Amino acid sequence: MGWPSIERMFEAMMTDAALLETMSRAQRTERTAIADRLLAAGRLCLRRMHSVDAEERAQWCIDNWEAVAAEVAAELGISQGRASSQMNYGVQLIERLPKLGALFASGAIEYRIVITAVFRTGLIVDADVLDAVDSRLAERAAGWNTCSEEKLKDKIDWVVRELDPDAIRAARDADDDRHIETAAGPDGMAEIYGRVRASDAAAFDQRLNQLAASVCRDDSRTARQRRADALGAWSTGASTMDCDCGSDDCPALISATEPGQIVIHLLAETKTVTGETDTPALLPGYGAIPAETVRALAKRAKLRPVIGGKELSAESHYRPSTALAEFIRCRDLTCRFPGCDRPASVADIDHTVPYPLGPTHPSNLKLLCRTHHLLKTFYTGPRGWTDRQLPDGTVIWTSPSGRTYTTKPAGTLFFPQVFSPTSELNLPDNSTQPSQPGRGVMMPARRRSRLKERADRVRWERGLNQARAAAHPPPF
């Protein structure tokens, strides 16, 4: 109880000017810390991209860039996509905009100025022009911290347009930005949002109305609720909705059709399904589902018990049985690589110690998404990634730099009674295993290297600008 009063006494002793000075100093420290992180990521990336094996891996699906992104993601505890983005900003500040990078490292400018400048100058290909743009940005950017996003774009584009009109980033076609997203919400709900073509939206709107009208007049839901529930019927390919009137003579039953095969996995205790408890179920990726909803779903779903790990033993073949595979997917729920949360539905089952040195057993199996499965397979051995698995499903990873990261199976947090530790195995040390995959295993190849893809994209965008200028020469 004494600490808050001491803190209040300390604050009371500080003048208003001192508090403002603390804010200013903290802001500069924050900026320099971000710059340090980005520049370190960029330097690590450049070091690995210039290594002796980088050229032979340029066509690999998981090239050196992806390998470094995995290492950065594990260290920072972020996704591989965010790690790749931070590496890109670091590389750009080192190789293309070093003067702006130095200004950023001094704490004089905001992070958002840097990311806007990196993108808006991305089509410049002439080294002298790029140097001139970098100089002008470094001279002026310190005064731009108060600018809105639009004003930042205008100021940077003004410099680019003056020196290289073909490098202006034109506004994207509205059609290019179409997308549909889903996001988990509280209380077993989720949000759906996006941007689609108007014709598709109109058809979708009408289809929801049609399905919502397929129940009888005694259905208890409001029109708004029926439209929301119609999405579930539409996603299964059904031509009508289930009516909740409860009547065996419901006219909606006459025209009902068998729904299509759409599969989602919901994890629930048996007592929740039978109504003995109200423990919520888990919908991976969305969170807890209320018991009442679970019991309603159970009436028209296929129920499949998950066999506990203690009841599963080593199997004599490489591919796990259905029961063993279900246990691994329900125990892990997501990819087990540090920082990755790709769901079980798109993940492979990996032998921690490669088969047949390691058995097909719960204590030697885990989930890895395809990217991290390939990374482990082809960037392994003494100078690559190694992993060690414990009986409770914990995986301890060691990176090429010797850093260690620990991941735990997500399912044990929700259902510890089902996913208790399995048998302890006497397995060989993964770090002593060969650094090359087995015979006949090949890394999927890219059609074009990462550098070639970027060069082609820049050339294409500059070509669009040139064609636009030719069709509408100044004055516009």
Other CB atoms within 10 Å distance of the CB of residue 40: 15
Asked if residue 281 is part of any domain, the answer here is: no
Number of domains in the chain: 3
Tell whether 145 and 205 lie within a shared domain: no
């690999």: which residue's tokens?
Answer: 60
Q: Integer distance in angstroms from the first to the last C-alpha of the chain?
A: 70
- Determine the pLDDT at residue 367: 95
Question: What percent of the chain stands above pLDDT 90?
Answer: 38
**Dihedral, CA of residue 457, residue 462, residue 465 and residue 469, to nearest 10:** -160
pLDDT digits (tens, 9 = 90+) for 266-323: 888 888 888 888 888 888 877 788 888 888 878 777 888 888 878 888 888 999 998 8
Res. 474 pLDDT band, cuts 50 70 90 = low
Tell whether 216 and 137 lie within a shared domain: no
Tell whether 223 and 107 lie within a shared domain: no
Tell whether 98 and 203 lie within a shared domain: no
Tell whether 373 and 241 lie within a shared domain: no
- Contact indicator for 44, 86 with CB cutoff of 8 Å: no
Q: 128: buried, middle or exposed (CB in 10 Å: 19+, 13-18, 0-12)?
A: exposed
Domain ends where: 234, 262, 290?
A: 262
Exposure b/e, 428-451, CB count within 10 A at least 16 = b:
eebeebeeebeeeeebeeeeebbe
| β-sheet bridge partners, residue 352 | none
Asked if residue 221 is part of any domain, the answer here is: yes
Asked if residue 415 is part of any domain, the answer here is: yes
Domain of residue 205, residue span:
177-262
Tell whether 186 and 152 lie within a shared domain: no
- Contact indicator for 170, 468 with CB cutoff of 8 Å: yes
- Contact indicator for 161, 121 with CB cutoff of 8 Å: no
Tell whether 156 and 187 lie within a shared domain: no
- Tokens matching residue 107: 């704490």
Asked if residue 419 is part of any domain, the answer here is: yes
CA atoms within 13 A on the CB side of 446: 16
Asked if residue 453 is part of any domain, the answer here is: no
Asked if residue 102 is part of any domain, the answer here is: yes
Tell whether 217 and 339 lie within a shared domain: no
Tell whether 91 and 239 lie within a shared domain: no
Tell whether 166 and 181 lie within a shared domain: no
- Determine the pLDDT at residue 416: 80
352 pLDDT above the threshold of 80: yes
260 pLDDT above the threshold of 50: no
pLDDT digits (tens, 9 = 90+) for 221-231: 888 888 888 88
Residue type, 416: P
Tell whether 335 and 394 lie within a shared domain: yes
Domain ends where: 228, 262, 296?
A: 262
Tell whether 329 and 399 lie within a shared domain: yes
- Contact indicator for 252, 243 with CB cutoff of 8 Å: yes
pLDDT digits (tens, 9 = 90+) for 354-372: 888 889 999 999 999 999 9
User: Mean pLDDT over residues 199-219, rounded?
Assistant: 80
384 pLDDT above the threshold of 80: yes
Query: By C-alpha distance, which of 222, 252, 221 is closest to 238?
Result: 252
Asked if residue 475 is part of any domain, the answer here is: no
CA atoms within 13 A on the CB side of 302: 7
Asked if residue 98 is part of any domain, the answer here is: yes
Domain ends where: 109, 135, 170?
A: 170
- Determine the pLDDT at residue 183: 82
